[in-house]
Amino acid sequence: MADFTFSSLSDHYPPFIERSQISTYFAWLTPRGMRNFDSAGKGPERLKVGKTVIYPTDKLLAWLDDRAKSPSTNVAKPSTDDPPERQPTAKRGRPRKKAHTAKAT
């Protein structure tokens, strides 16, 4: 059985995909997620047409292929060390006034 690649499906998609329409074609991708990838410099090549961000489909599919091959770097790895001790946290908010006590005479 041959290995699957997203690039092999390029004939099934339009030549360009708008960021706002990304989840129409790839349900696990969202426009917000793509914006985050782009701002971190980890997204696919993109073009701007006015205010609209579009992705060339061949670049987007190649990016998906690369992400599918490499292990995810944003998954937390289990630590072999003991967890760090918790430090006491400062109380939040405005300090309360001390209650006045009446002195008996």
Q: What pLDDT, in 10s, does the model give residues 77-99?
A: 555 666 667 777 667 777 777 77
Distance CA 7, CA 59 (A): 9
Residue 95 lies in a domain: no
- What is the token pair recorded at 39? 């701002």
Residue 37 lies in a domain: yes
Check residue 23 and report its DSSP letter.
Answer: H
Residue 94 lies in a domain: no
pLDDT at site 95? 72
pTM of the model: 0.64
Q: What are the pLDDT digits (tens) for 18-75?
A: 999 999 999 999 999 999 999 999 999 999 999 999 999 999 999 999 988 876 655 5
Residue 49 lies in a domain: yes
List beta partners, residue 67.
none
Q: Model confidence at 1, in pLDDT bands (50, 70, 90)?
A: very low
Q: Confirm if 31 and 22 have CB atoms less than 8 A apart.
A: yes
Alpha carbon 94 to its chain's center: 35
Residue 59 lies in a domain: yes
Q: What is the mean pLDDT of residues 6-24?
A: 93
- What is the token pair recorded at 89? 């946290």
Instruction: Supply the CATH number for residue 38's domain.
Output: 1.10.10
Domain count, the chain: 1
- Residue span of the structural domain in which 51 resides: 6-69
Residue 60 lies in a domain: yes
Q: Model confidence at 3, in pLDDT bands (50, 70, 90)?
A: confident
pLDDT at site 84? 66
Distance CA 37, CA 52 (A): 16
Residue 87 lies in a domain: no
Residue 63 lies in a domain: yes
User: Dihedral through CA 63, CA 66, CA 70, CA 74, nearest 10?
Assistant: 0
Residues in the chain: 105
